[in-house]
Amino acid sequence: MLKRHGVLPGFSITLGFTVLYLSLIVLIPLSATFLKAATLGWTGFWNAITEPRVLASYKLTFGASLAGALINAGFGLLVAWVLVRYEFFGKKLIDALVDLPFALPTAVAGISLATLYSGKGWAGQFFTPLGIKIAYTPLGVVVALTFIGLPFVVRTVQPILEDFEAELEEAAASLGATRWQTFSRVILPALLPALLTGFALAFARAVGEYGSVIFIAGNIPMVSEITPLLIITKLEQYDYAGATALAVSMLLVSFVLLLSINALQRWSQLRRT
């Protein structure tokens, strides 16, 4: 009997390289972050992460990230639906523009958004007479985080929509279901796991975003200052322990939120089966 040879080396070698790679890229840096933060002691660590200015930055960072991810969950689903279900002039161009936040440098995105939504910008000039200020406010942070998170939802939902069987919709319609009933009871349950995944990815990206936010946020302490900016500020002041303390707190909160989202996704999949 001939022995089958795989394209890649054996399990032991590939597993060893995998563990080594993850250790160098993920585990060792994260461990170093926790160890550096531990030098503050529990009291110093708690004081560093609960300062009023830090708490205000948490509120803005996580609140704006959640808002941006929720907006992208709704409009990202709509964009994916249009790209999959309809044929129109310029479809390929719009499909390519969806990936623009991936390719565009974050600093360029931030400067562009700040220019566009400033009081005299192309878009901002229409909101100013209404008393709505976007640039250099928390609302501008939400706009920036929505911009960078849209591709995650669209590219996650789009393949599921492409593989969705149209016969299921036709069967629901033949049984007397309305359009809303067909969407909510037939289409949405099939899309929900992918939609939650896209939401989680958009949220995770938004929490750690820096470059596209600082130009439009205004960076006003207690008002429009995000936590990543505070981390950079502490690093510039050579307060490495304080910076790592903030990084650890953000990491733990993000991990708990993502774990909750994954648990919800798992529950939705079990409910379907």
**What range defines the domain where residue 242 resides?**
56-272
Q: How far is it, in rounded angstroms, from Cα 70 to Cα 217?
A: 20
Residue 50 lies in a domain: no
Q: How far is it, in rounded angstroms, from Cα 63 to Cα 142?
A: 9
- Reading the chain (273 residues) residue by residue, the pLDDT tens digits are 455 555 656 677 888 888 888 888 888 888 888 898 888 889 999 999 999 999 999 999 999 999 999 999 999 999 999 999 888 898 999 999 999 998 888 889 999 999 999 888 888 888 988 889 999 999 999 999 999 999 999 999 999 888 887 777 778 878 788 888 888 888 888 888 889 889 988 998 999 899 889 999 888 888 889 999 999 999 999 999 999 999 999 888 888 877 887 787 777 667 666
Tally of domains in the chain: 1
- Give pLDDT, residue 4: 56
Residue 190 lies in a domain: yes
Residue 10 lies in a domain: no
Q: How far is it, in rounded angstroms, from Cα 217 to Cα 250?
A: 19
Residue 168 lies in a domain: yes
- The CATH number of residue 74's host domain is 1.10.3720.10
Q: How far is it, in rounded angstroms, from Cα 60 to Cα 222?
A: 9
Residue 212 lies in a domain: yes
Residue 32 lies in a domain: no
pLDDT digits (tens, 9 = 90+) for 13-71: 888 888 888 888 888 888 888 898 888 889 999 999 999 999 999 999 999 999 999 99
Helix axes 188-207, 138-163, angle to 10 degrees: 140
Phi-psi region of 4 (alpha: psi -120 to 50; beta: other; left: phi over 0): beta
Q: How far is it, in rounded angstroms, from Cα 213 to Cα 141?
A: 6
Neighbours of 29 (CB within 10 A): 10
